Amino acid sequence: MESKVNYTAVGLFVILFTTALVAFGFWLGKYNGDTKDYRYYKLFITESVAGLSPEAAVKFRGVDVGKVETILINPNNSEEIELTLKIKKETPIKTDSYAILKFYGITGLAYIEIAGGTKESPLLVSDEHTVATIPSSPSLIKRLDESLSNVASKLSTTLDKADRLFNDRNVENVALTLEHLRSLSVQLDGYQNEVRTLIQQTIALENNATGSLNSIQDAADETKKSAANFNNVVTVKMGNTLDSLEKSSRETHALIQKIEQTVDRGDYDLRSVAAPTATEFNELIAQTKLLSNELEQSLNHLKNSPSDLLFKTSKPTPGPGEK
Amino acid sequence: MRPPLFLVTLTLLIAGCSTQTPPMNEYILSSASLAPSFIESAAPYTLKMAPPKARPSLISKLFYYREGENKIGSYLYSQWVDAPAAMLDRLLYTSLQQNRLFSTTLSSGSNASGDLVLESMLHDFSHRIDRSGHSMGEIDITYTLIDTKTKKVIASKRFTASSPTPTVDAQGGVIALDHAATHIIEQCSAWLHLISKEPSWKK
């Protein structure tokens, strides 16, 4: 049996296969002309991007919206990693959106998560001429790392302080204080009976005070009544007394007027009466002084020479120029 | 026995009275040497002179003299007519009245009261004779001016003056003390004039 080759079918197959192969090659080479459907954004991260590779996914709130285009070390700042993200055009990247480095479970593979971005915020515009930069936020690992570092540092400080607090001396002091508290507690137990008695006495005192207050209130009522009676008596009696007083005042006024007239006349001017006498008296005293002085001198003379009284025997010393 | 005893006593007393002594000379400070001052206007106050005060031994008419530093004696036959403090007081009163230093000057015996009172305290008024035979008349006195209303002292000053005697006897002492007194009165008048012009104590 002679096989008949259908060259037409073979040729058609070759053409179709070659066309498919070229199309696959274009698809594989990403010459699919989708550049118009994506926008490019820059992202600068200071932490390690281990596990993140080009073509890694970019997710917006968990939805795949693009991929990492390139990963470079920022030529202007060696502490930063510069990522170029290729994100679908319709993705609402806002000015307050930020990017976080996240990991798939325990595999160690990483992706970029775009979070944040409120509804009211304007879009972060990125076009062919200007590439916008999405702010980055520390990843969970970094935050955990920083938190753990802080916790460890604080724990270390706390332990140091605790070590100082619980030194031997303080422990002894605390033990001593507890011993004193125990002793105080024992003493307070002993005072329970006295405290009970004191409370009972206080209750009794309160009862007495209540009784006394009632008595005082009664007394106050009585005083109020007495005051009312006194007021009536005073009103009546004082009226008469004031009349008498007014009469006495008038008489006293007349008497004072008479005395004033007498005084004005100089009948009782003691100064004018006494002044001449005082002056005379002063002169008399001065003369008396003189006299008593001379008398004293004479007596002294007689005392020194008593015989002079009868015979004048002594010879007093004459003064200069006297014989 | 009694009549003879009485007669003897009487005889002795009469004999005592028969003793003869030289006559006593009495002296007074003279105001003749006081020179009149020319005060442009009298101070508008009444000055009253307080009764003069003196050291106890100077409240006497005796004329004292001092020999050397410590010996004090009195002349037997010479004395002052009045106590030295009273004589000085009268002399100052005369001077103040003559010179019209104040609108009115009242003596210590006046019944009226003045705006100011002048008190005096005499410390020394004696005839001093030193060892070399020279003698001086010396006066030492303090005057104090007092405001009558407030009873506060306005001013107080101590004045001393001495003058040589022409002869070393009572007569010379009187002349020297007369000169010294004149000097004291002049000093006091000048001081009072100055005080009366000062505004510090005036109201």
User: Which of A40-49, B6-15, B154-163 is modeled with the greatest confidence?
Assistant: B154-163
On whether residue B86 sits in a domain, the answer given is yes
On whether residue A219 sits in a domain, the answer given is yes
Which residue of chain A comes nearest to B10, CA vs CA?
Answer: A310
Which band of pLDDT confidence, cut at 50, 70 and 90, is reported for residue B187?
very high
Cβ contacts of residue A309 below 8 Å, gap of 6+? A302, B16
Contact yes or no for B153/B145 (Cβ under 8 A): yes
- Write down the pLDDT at residue B174: 94
Interface test with A, best of B21, B58, B60 (most A CBs within 10 A): B60
Is the pLDDT confidence value at A89 over 90? no
CA–CA gap between residue A283 and residue A34 (Å, rounded):
148
Clarify whether residues A109 and A65 are in a common domain. yes
Q: What percent of chain A has pLDDT over 90?
A: 20
Domains: count for chain A? 4
Mean of the pLDDT values across residues B13-36?
A: 74
Nearest one of B100, B117, B5, B3 to B50, comparing CA atoms? B117
- Lowest-pLDDT range of A50-54, A153-157, A296-300, B47-51: A296-300
Select the more confidently predicted residue: A237 or A66.
Answer: A66
Clarify whether residues A224 and A190 are in a common domain. yes
Q: Is A284 on the interface with B (CB under 8 A)?
A: no
- Write down the pLDDT at residue B1: 47
Q: Is B6 on the interface with A (CB under 8 A)?
A: no
Clarify whether residues A67 and A79 are in a common domain. yes
Which residue of chain B comes nearest to A316, CA vs CA?
Answer: B76
CATH number at residue B139: 3.40.50.10610
Clarify whether residues A42 and A114 are in a common domain. yes
CA–CA gap between residue B172 and residue A243 (Å, rounded):
87
Residues of B in contact with A288 (CB under 8 A): none
If residue A311 lies in a helix (H) or strand (E), which one and from where to where?
none
What the block records as the tokens of B32 is 């003749």
- Write down the pLDDT at residue A28: 78
Nearest one of B26, B24, B28 to B175, comparing CA atoms? B28
Partner B, chain A 304-323, Cβ-Cβ below 8 Å:
308-312, 316-322
Is the pLDDT confidence value at B180 over 90? yes
Q: Which alpha helices (DSSP H) does A266-321 contain, by range?
A: 270-304
Which band of pLDDT confidence, cut at 50, 70 and 90, is reported for residue A286?
confident
What the block records as the tokens of A109 is 């593979």
On whether residue B37 sits in a domain, the answer given is no
Task: Read off the pLDDT of residues A298-322 as tens digits, 9 standing for 90 and up.
Answer: 888 778 877 776 666 677 788 888 8
Q: Please report the DSSP string for A119-149 in residue order.
A: TTSPB----SS--EEE-EE--HHHHHHHHHH
Which residue of chain B comes nearest to A313, CA vs CA?
Answer: B16
Neighbour-count burial of A264, counting CB atoms closer than 10 A to its CB (0-12 exposed, 13-18 middle, 19+ buried): exposed
For A275, the domain range is 269-303
On whether residue A149 sits in a domain, the answer given is no
Clarify whether residues A291 and A250 are in a common domain. no
Single-letter code of the amino acid located at A176:
L
- Mean of the per-residue pLDDT values for chain A? 85
Indicate yes or no: CB of A319 within 8 angstroms of CB of B56.
Answer: no
Report the residue from B16, B129, B167 with minimal CB separation from A309. Answer: B16
Clarify whether residues A51 and A108 are in a common domain. yes
Is the pLDDT confidence value at B127 over 70? yes
What the block records as the tokens of A270 is 């003691």
Contact yes or no for A101/A45 (Cβ under 8 A): yes
On whether residue B20 sits in a domain, the answer given is no
For B78, the domain range is 43-197
Domains: count for chain B? 1
Mean of the pLDDT values across residues B168-192?
A: 93
Contact yes or no for B64/B123 (Cβ under 8 A): no
Single-letter code of the amino acid located at A139:
S
Q: Is B171 on the interface with A (CB under 8 A)?
A: yes
CA–CA gap between residue A135 and residue B106 (Å, rounded):
116
Task: Read off the pLDDT of residues A12-60 as tens digits, 9 standing for 90 and up.
Answer: 999 999 999 999 988 877 655 566 688 899 999 988 888 899 889 999 9
Strand ranges, E, within B41-115: 43-49, 53-54, 62-67, 71-80, 102-106
What is each CA distance from A172 to A22, A165, A166, A177, A237, in whole angstroms?
90, 12, 9, 9, 85
Indicate yes or no: CB of B78 within 8 angstroms of CB of A319.
Answer: yes
Task: Read off the pLDDT of residues A52-87 as tens digits, 9 standing for 90 and up.
Answer: 998 899 999 889 999 999 999 999 898 899 999 999
On whether residue B25 sits in a domain, the answer given is no
If residue B188 lies in a helix (H) or strand (E), which one and from where to where?
helix B170-197
Q: Is A168 on the interface with B (CB under 8 A)?
A: no
Mean of the pLDDT values across residues B67-86?
A: 89
On whether residue B9 sits in a domain, the answer given is no
- Write down the pLDDT at residue A197: 87
- Mean of the per-residue pLDDT values for chain B? 86
Q: Among all chains, which residue has been given the structure tokens 């705006």? A: B115
- Write down the pLDDT at residue B200: 67
Residues of A in contact with B19 (CB under 8 A): 312
Indicate yes or no: CB of B170 within 8 angstroms of CB of A316.
Answer: no
Nearest one of B103, B53, B107, B118 to B83, comparing CA atoms? B53
Mean of the pLDDT values across residues A228-251?
A: 83
Q: Is A293 on the interface with B (CB under 8 A)?
A: yes
Q: What percent of chain B has pLDDT over 70?
A: 88
On whether residue A12 sits in a domain, the answer given is yes
Indicate yes or no: CB of B168 within 8 angstroms of CB of A320.
Answer: yes
Indicate yes or no: CB of A319 within 8 angstroms of CB of B169.
Answer: yes
Alpha-carbon distance B168 to nearest alpha carbon in chain A (angstroms): 6
Task: Read off the pLDDT of residues B114-124 as tens digits, 9 standing for 90 and up.
Answer: 899 999 999 99
Q: Among all chains, which residue has been given the structure tokens 């303090």? A: B142
Indicate yes or no: CB of A322 within 8 angstroms of CB of B60.
Answer: no
Q: Is A269 on the interface with B (CB under 8 A)?
A: no
- Write down the pLDDT at residue A306: 77
Contact yes or no for A99/A134 (Cβ under 8 A): yes
- Answer positive or negative: Cα dihedral of A143, A147, A150, A156: negative
Indicate yes or no: CB of B169 within 8 angstroms of CB of A275.
Answer: no
On whether residue A122 sits in a domain, the answer given is yes
Which residue of chain A comes nearest to B67, CA vs CA?
Answer: A320
Q: Is B83 on the interface with A (CB under 8 A)?
A: yes
Interface test with A, best of B76, B110, B119 (most A CBs within 10 A): B76
Which residue of chain A comes nearest to B130, CA vs CA?
Answer: A320
Q: Is A297 on the interface with B (CB under 8 A)?
A: yes
Q: What is the DSSP letter of A195?
A: H
Q: Is B18 on the interface with A (CB under 8 A)?
A: no
Is the pLDDT confidence value at A292 over 70? yes
